[in-house]
Amino acid sequence: MVTTDAASRQGDEIDADLLRFIQQVANSFTKWDLIRFFHDNPHAADTPDNIARYISRDSQEVERELAALTSENIVRERSMSSVTLYSLTPDPALRAIVERFVNACDDRAFRAKAIRVVMLLERKS
């Protein structure tokens, strides 16, 4: 059963669009932190090192995950002089799914289910 709510309080199902987003985009805890960072700072344009410091993650891991989020068009990469900056996509549809995901994470039941999905995905890789 797929529900229309972010997380069904009666079952273990996650909304199909959000489940797809978790499986394809927010499929690691570092990506999850990056998505939240850009959601909370939608006008930020910063280097991987600075973002890594802000979210307390390893800079090489952040750089890898930023590249993955760039390939999913969630994050935009720009080179200025000799520096590469990353920022949230300007695409309204992608920003909307980011918004839905971050808002859904405020719900404890959804967050617990999403964590389980990410843990299973990380275990498989």
pLDDT tens digits, residue range 16-74?
A: 999 999 999 999 999 999 999 999 999 999 999 999 999 999 999 999 999 999 999 99
Total domains present in the chain? 1
User: What angle in degrees, to the nearest 10, is found between the helix axes of 48-55 and 29-40?
Assistant: 100
Q: Containing domain of residue 21, as a range?
A: 16-124
pTM of the model: 0.88
Residue recorded with tokens 């920003």: 95
Looking at residue 12, its pLDDT comes to: 61
Residue 33 lies in a domain: yes
- Long-range Cβ contacts of 106-109 (<8 Å, 24+ apart): 107/6, 107/7, 109/7, 109/9
CA 110 → CA 12, 15, 23, 47, distances in Å? 9, 9, 14, 31
Is the CB of residue 75 less than 8 Å from the CB of residue 68? no
Residue 5 lies in a domain: no
Which tokens go with 56? 């307390």
Distance CA 32, CA 116 (A): 13
Which CATH number characterizes residue 77's domain? 1.10.10.10
